[in-house]
Amino acid sequence: MQPLFIIFLITSLLVAYIIVKPMLRERGREKVRSQIFPKTWRKILRRNVPYFHTMPADMQLQLKQHILVFIHEKNFMGFEGIDIDDEIQVTIAAQACLLLLNRKADYYPKLKSIYVYPAAFITKHPTKDAAGVVHEQRRVLSGESWELGKVILSWKDTIDGADIVDDGRNVVIHEFAHQLDQETGSANGAPFLKHKTRRCWSDVLSKEFDRLVSRTARGETTLLDKYGATNPAEFFAVATEVFFEKPKEMQHYHANLYSQLKGLYQVDPALWL
């Protein structure tokens, strides 16, 4: 009987831990959200994140609370001479948390660290050619999202993306859209969705992706950046950028896509302008 009792005890403790841990984490987050948002941080928002002032007051409050939790939980690391300060943390956190408004936020649970470089950075990835020979591929990037716990950002591109709010380009929004996508596994353009919305989401995004691929191949001008034609994951990230930065144009030219993103993010940026 004793071994059975020990197994029962261990199982009970494990179940209790699984149930209690999220409750304790949420209680801690509520405590962080209740803190006063520093005046110096408000100045950073005014200076670096102009879209903040177009949002309704209740969403501004939500965003500030999310920023407090995000900075409390995530580890920022600077490279190549970058010293992490409040300006870097608040500017990045504000744009990342824009994707969490009006929804139950788990603050990108897989994400542990944000690496910040002064400008575009070089990545090296092994690739295999048709003959099976492995080569090192070098790419210059302004941002990169890893499934295993990190986002890499160029500070210059972060500032540019935040400052110009209506060009449909925002590296932080792009990379954190990938993070949402990666919560369900490898990025594939299908973030966590309610079961009843999955088929409609898949139909709309597949049609819009094929449309962008076709128009890109013909060299036509497109509202969505042609980089979105690379694959469904990049399409979702590019579409998210445009949804927040050029909502009225997307609503006009890509009404079904706009509707799907509005349902996912639970906000309507077209009303903010």
Alpha-carbon distance 17 to 24, whole Å?
A: 10
Alpha-carbon distance 80 to 122, whole Å?
A: 12
Helical pair 86-97 and 155-163, crossing angle rounded to 10 deg: 60
Same domain, 163 and 194: no
For all residues of the chain together, what is the average pLDDT?
A: 88
Same domain, 35 and 162: yes
Please count the structural domains in the chain.
2
| Token output for 75 | 């580890």
> Is 183 inside a domain boundary?
no
Predicted confidence at residue 104, as pLDDT, reads 86
Q: Give the model's confidence band at 268: pLDDT under 50 very low, under 70 low, under 90 confident, else very high.
A: very high
Alpha-carbon distance 110 to 117, whole Å?
A: 21
* pTM across the whole model: 0.86
Q: How far lies 215's CA from each of 177, 193, 222, in Å? A: 23, 28, 7
**Per-residue pLDDT tens over the stretch 172-181:** 999 999 999 9
> Is 172 inside a domain boundary?
no
**Per-residue pLDDT tens over the stretch 185-227:** 888 888 877 666 788 999 999 999 999 999 999 999 999 999 9
Q: Is the pLDDT of residue 138 over 90?
A: no
Cβ-based neighbour number of residue 228 at 10 Å: 26
How large is the average pLDDT for residues 127-147? Answer: 69
Domain housing 259: 188-273
Predicted confidence at residue 129, as pLDDT, reads 54
| CATH assignment of the domain containing 230 | 3.40.390.10
